[in-house]
Chains A and B, each alone.
Chain A
Amino acid sequence: MKSFLKPSLAILFAASVFMTTGCGNDDEPTPENEEELITTVRLHATPQGGGNMIMATYKDVDGPGGQAPIVNGLQLAANKVYDVRVEVLDESKTPAEDITQEVKEEADEHQFFYQPSTGLNLTVAYTDQDSKNLPLGITTRMTTAAASTGTLRVILKHQPGTKNNSVNTGETDVEVTFPATIQ
Chain B
Amino acid sequence: MRYLICFLLCLSGLPLVGVAQDVSASPSQGCALVLSGSVTDHEDRSPLIGATVVLEGTQLTSVTDANGRYAFRNLCPGTYRIVVSYIGYTNEKLEENLRSSKTTNVRLHPDALQLHSIEVTGTRHQDQPIQGNSQLSGRELDQTQGQSLAQALERMTGLSSIQTGPSIAKPVIHGLHSSRILVMNNGVRHEAQQWGSEHAPEIDPFVASELTVIKGAAGVRYGADAIGGVILVEPSPLRDSVGTGAELNLVGVSNNRQGVASAMVEGNPAGLSSFSWRLQGTLKKAGNSKTPDYYLANTGYQEQNFSGAAGWTREKYGVEAFFSRFDTKLGVFAGSHVGNLTDIRNAIKRERPEPEAFFTYAIDRPYQNVTHDLLKLKAFYRTENLGRLNLMYSRQFNQREEYDTHGGSERPGLRFEIVTHNTEAVWEHKPWGNVNGSMGVTYMYQFNRYEGRFFVPFYQSHTAGLFWIERWDRGKWHVESGLRYDYRNLEAKLFRKDTPQKTGDSDLDNELLTPTHRFQNLSGTLGAIYDIGPHLNLSVNAATAWRSPTTSELYSNGIHHGTGTYEYGNANLDVERAYNFTATLAYIQNQRLNGEVSVYRNYINNYIYQAPDTVPTLTIRGAFLTARQQQADATFTGLDASVTYQLTDHLLLGGKASLVRGYNTSANEYLIWIPTDRFEGNLRYSLEKLGAQETFTENFVSVSGMRVSKQRNLPDNYLARDYALPPAGYFLLNAELGTTLQLGKQQIELGLMGRNLLNTAYRDYLNRFRYYADEVGRSITLRVSIPLNF
Question: Which residues of A approach B to under 8 Å, CB–CB?
Answer: 1, 5-6, 9, 12-13, 15-17, 19-21, 23-25, 27-29, 31-32, 34-36, 38-41, 58, 60-67, 69, 155, 158, 160-162, 168-176
Contacts and interface: CB of A to CB of B under 8 A. Distances in A.
Given A20-B393, A64-B624, A67-B502, A172 B445 contact: no
Interface stretch (B193-201, B333-341, B665-673, B698-706): B333-341
Given A16-B377, A41-B620, A65 B566 contact: yes
A58 B619 CA distance: 11
Contact of A171 (B389, B391, B405, B493): B405
Contacts of B389: 9
B557 A17 contact: no
Contacts of B317: 5, 9
B774 to A, nearest CB: 19
Given A66-B503, A169-B346, A20 B407 contact: no
A60 B620 CA distance: 7
A16 B423 contact: yes
Contact of B621 (A20, A34, A160, A174): A174
B346 A168 contact: yes
A175 B338 CA distance: 13
Nearest to B417: A27
- 8 closest Cβ pairs, A-B complex: A175-B622, A16-B393, A172-B339, A64-B619, A66-B502, A20-B421, A67-B504, A161-B355
B449 A29 contact: yes
A125 to B, nearest CB: 24
A12 B413 CA distance: 41
Nearest to A155: B622
Interface stretch (B324-332, B450-458, B532-540): B450-458
Given A29-B449, A67-B502, A9 B381 contact: yes
Interface string B405-446: 111010101000001011101000000000000000001110
B379 A171 contact: no
B447 A25 contact: yes
Residue of A6, A12, A29, A174 with highest tally of chain B CB at under 10 A: A29
Given A12-B379, A24-B460, A35-B404, 8 more contacts: A16-B393, A36-B406, A36-B407, A62-B503, A65-B502, A65-B568, A175-B340, A175-B621
Contacts of B316: 1, 5
B559 interface: yes
Given A27-B449, A41-B620, A172-B340, A19 B395 contact: yes
A16 B445 CA distance: 12
Given A13-B391, A20-B422, A32 B452 contact: yes
Given A27-B449, A58-B620, A65 B460 contact: no
Nearest to B443: A20
B622 A172 contact: yes
A114 to B, nearest CB: 15
B566 A29 contact: no
Contact of A35 (B452, B493, B566): B452
B407 A35 contact: yes
19 contacts: A5-B316, A6-B381, A15-B393, A16-B393, A20-B421, A20-B422, A20-B445, A27-B447, A27-B458, A29-B449, A32-B451, A34-B452, A35-B411, A35-B413, A62-B504, A66-B504, A160-B405, A168-B346, A173-B339
Residue of A20, A25, A67, A173 with highest tally of chain B CB at under 10 A: A20
B510 interface: yes
B363 interface: no
Nearest to B498: A29
Contacts of A31: 495, 497, 510
Residue of B447, B501, B568 with highest tally of chain A CB at under 10 A: B447
Contacts of A16: 377, 391-393, 423
B500 interface: yes
A69 B342 CA distance: 20
Nearest to B511: A31
Given A29-B495, A62-B509, A23 B421 contact: yes
B354 to A, nearest CB: 5
Contacts of A61: 504
Nearest to B619: A64
B510 A69 contact: no
A27 B624 CA distance: 33
B425 A171 contact: no
Nearest to A10: B391
